[in-house]
Amino acid sequence: MAMELHEPVAALMREVARDIVMPRYRNLAAEDISEKAADDFVTIADKESEIRLAEGLAAILPEAAIIGEEACAADPAILERAGDGLNWIVDPIDGTGNFAAGKPPFGIMVALADGGAALAGWILDPLTGRLCHAVLGAGSYVNGERIHARESGAAMPIAALAVYFMTPQERAGIQNRSAGRFTLVDIPRCAAEQYPRLALGENDLSLFSRTLPWDHAAGTLFLNEAGGLCQRHDGSPYRVGDKRRGLLGASSPRLWDKAADLLFS
C-alpha cells in the first residue's frame, strides 16, 4: 500500500508548495507571522498549507486520521492519539523560522504511521524541488532514485547538535563530551534539511532533544531505510506518540555506536 501512495502524495505536496508555500516566501506581511511560543513561529502559509494537505491526504487514504502540527497547536488532545491506529503526520512547513525570515532551508514533511511505526515518509524542499521519500522495508529515494547513506569522509565526524531544547546541565554535558571529538557545524533549524544531510554525506551526526512526530517521523524512516541509523539514545527505535525526548542520528551504524558511547555512556 505505501508504495502505491507515493505518487499521489508527492503530487499533492508539490501542488501545495507551488500554490501556497512559494507564493508566500519573502512575501509575508507582519500580521501574517505570529509566535505560538518563544522562538516558535507560525505563518499564514503554515495554516493554509496544512488545510490543503489534510484535505488531500484524507482523499488519498480516508481511513487514516490526520495529525497536523498546527491542528495540535490549537488542540493538544489531537497529539494524544498520534501513536494509535493509522495516521497521516503532517508538518506543513518545517523550518518556519527560516521561512518567516525569508531564508532557506525549509520543507514540507508528511509521514504515514500505523500504531506509532512509520510506514512511509516524504520530505519536499520547495525551493529546489528535491523530494526525499522512504517506504518501510523498501528503501529511501531522492527524486525517484534509490540512495544509500554515506559518511562524509571527514577526519573528524561532522556533527550538527541541536541543544537549544536541553537543560543547561544537559547542554554543558554534550558540549564537554563532544569538544575535540567532532567537527561541529551549525544546525539548519529544519529537520527537513538535517535528515537529507545525514543520508547524503554532508553531515555525519545529528542530535535532537525535542522529538515531535511531524519533525521526525518521515526523517527517521528516510535515514534508517537509507542505511544510516536514527534512534533513541538507549538504542530503542523512535515511535510516533511515545512522548520521549532525545534522538541521535548518524550516517552509519558504526558512527552511531561511536557517538552514543561518547555522548551517553
Asked whether residue 40 is marked as a ligand-binding residue, the answer is no
Distance, in Å, from the CA atom of 156 to the CA atom of 169, rounded to the nearest integer, reads 25
Distance, in Å, from the CA atom of 265 to the CA atom of 256, rounded to the nearest integer, reads 13
Main-chain phi, psi angles of 248, to 5 degrees: -120, 125
C-alpha closest to that of 236 among 258, 252, 220, 225: 220
Question: Are residues 192 and 95 in contact, defined by beta-carbon separation less than 8 angstroms?
Answer: yes
Asked whether residue 69 is marked as a ligand-binding residue, the answer is yes
Angle at 40 between CA 67 and CA 247, to 5 degrees: 65
The residue behind cell 491542528 is 71
Asked whether residue 215 is marked as a ligand-binding residue, the answer is yes
Main-chain phi, psi angles of 150, to 5 degrees: -140, 145
Residue type, 7: E
C-alpha closest to that of 49 among 27, 26, 18: 18
Asked whether residue 257 is marked as a ligand-binding residue, the answer is no
Question: Are residues 264 and 233 in contact, defined by beta-carbon separation less than 8 angstroms?
Answer: yes
Q: How far is CA 4 from the centre of its chain?
A: 22
Q: Are strands 65-68 and 40-43 parallel, antiparallel or unpaired?
A: unpaired
Cβ-in-10-Å burial (0-12, 13-18, 19+) of 139 comes to middle
Asked whether residue 19 is marked as a ligand-binding residue, the answer is no
Taken in order 222, 224, 229, 235, is the CA torsion positive or negative?
positive
**Which residues are annotated binding-site positions for Mg(2+)?**
69, 91, 93-94, 215
**Which residues are annotated binding-site positions?**
69, 91, 93-94, 215
